[in-house]
Structure 1
Amino acid sequence: MKTLLALSALAGALCVVPAAAAETRHPPVVRAVAHDDLDLSTAKGRKTLDRRIEIAIATACGDASSADPMGWKAIQRCRLDAADRVSAQREGVIAAAQRQGGTRIAAQ
């Protein structure tokens, strides 16, 4: 399972989108992570954002039975890939908040 994370600055959200594997025909699942209500210049705001991202990734990638080792590996791969892809976007959103002097990032 591959993931694609897209930053939607106008919507004030990060989006988690696991793409269906080539051999399957499942539609992608999209999870938006709102951040326009957070003060990302504070540790508390960044921690809340990180938790929201973790939940969105876990929800979007799904879960597998511990009795299904191949499925579990695919889920873990999806989660790691999603976390890697959202990392740069997360940093960009935080940097934008800090440039604005700690004000919240509002949807435009």
Structure 2
Amino acid sequence: MPKTKKDSSSSDSDSGPEDKTPAKKSKTGNGKGASGSSGDNHNGPWTLEKLRQVRINEFKGRRMVDIREFYEKNGEILPGKKGISLQPNQWKKLIELAPEITKALGD
């Protein structure tokens, strides 16, 4: 059955490469701005480890915090399917829960 509406899904998370706004491409993958602080780059990317990054993206007109695994192809860093996009209120809730989660980890 063909889709007639783009808003047929109620989920705000995306699955990666089919996003309307492609992630910024980097030929080096060196994670500039990856020190964990925003520095001069207020929209990231911030590297968690290797090719796992946090970025601020726009999806369907909404700003989202995108936590995603990337991969390298032909010298370009591209977004993969493994990841999650959080709405600002979801991100704030996660930050609010972070101390409790850290305690549960035992670290």
The reply to whether TM is greater than 0.5 is: no
Band of TM-score, shorter chain: under 0.3
Higher helix proportion (structure 1 or 2): 1
Q: TM-score, normalised by structure 1?
A: 0.26
Higher relative contact order (CA 8 A, sep 6+): 1
